[in-house]
């Protein structure tokens, strides 16, 4: 059986921890990021568009060209775009996932008595989006 790939509809590349988790827990053979042009489109989804249907067509085409049934697609970003691409992924037999993290807040008292907060996000796992049976 062919090992699945993971495509990234995501604002950045995977961290080392995420790549290791994808390989170990999901048995990923390859991680395929967006091209630079698509990456720019994904991170700059216009807030003023009333519909994203046409805007997201390049992402649907990219998925169609690069995936096989049973491959994973990591989808995170603009809520409307995620919702639309999630539905598309389910419709073409992909396994959509998202990354879960734990957040740690470290506070340091500064010499002027101000408090500086640093947030550290640590990858925990990839969780499948679940389709509701209606």
Our CA dihedral for 132, 17, 25, 80, rounded to 10 degrees, sits at: 20
Lookup: tokens for 119: 């947030």
Give yes or no for residue 1 having a pLDDT over 70. no
* Within a domain: 133: no
Look over the chain and give the mean of its residue pLDDT values, rounded to a whole number. 92
Q: What is the mean pLDDT of residues 19-37?
A: 93
Give the pLDDT of residue 117: 87
Q: Is residue 109 situated within a structural domain? A: yes
Q: Is residue 18 part of a domain?
A: yes
How many domains would you assign to the chain? 1
Over residues 125-132, the mean pLDDT reads: 92
Structural domain range at position 89: 5-128
* 40-86 residue pLDDT tens: 999 999 999 999 999 999 999 999 999 999 999 999 999 999 999 99
| Cα end-to-end distance, the chain, whole Å | 32
Q: How confident is the model at residue 20 (pLDDT cuts 50, 70, 90)?
A: very high
The pLDDT value given to residue 133: 79
Residue 134 domain-assigned (yes or no): no
């Amino acid at each position: 059986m062919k090992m699945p790939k993971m495509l990234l509809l995501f604002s950045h590349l995977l961290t080392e921890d995420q790549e290791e988790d994808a390989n170990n827990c999901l048995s990923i053979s390859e991680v395929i990021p967006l091209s630079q042009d698509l990456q720019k489109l994904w991170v700059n989804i216009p807030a003023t568009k009333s519909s994203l249907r046409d805007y997201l067509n390049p992402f649907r085409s990219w998925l169609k060209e690069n995936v096989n049934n049973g491959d994973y697609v990591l989808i995170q970003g603009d809520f409307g775009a995620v919702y639309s691409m999630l539905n598309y992924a389910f419709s073409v037999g992909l396994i959509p996932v998202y990354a879960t993290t734990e957040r740690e807040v470290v506070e340091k008292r500064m010499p002027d008595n101000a408090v500086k907060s640093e947030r550290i996000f640590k990858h925990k796992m990839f969780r499948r989006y679940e389709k509701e049976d209606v």
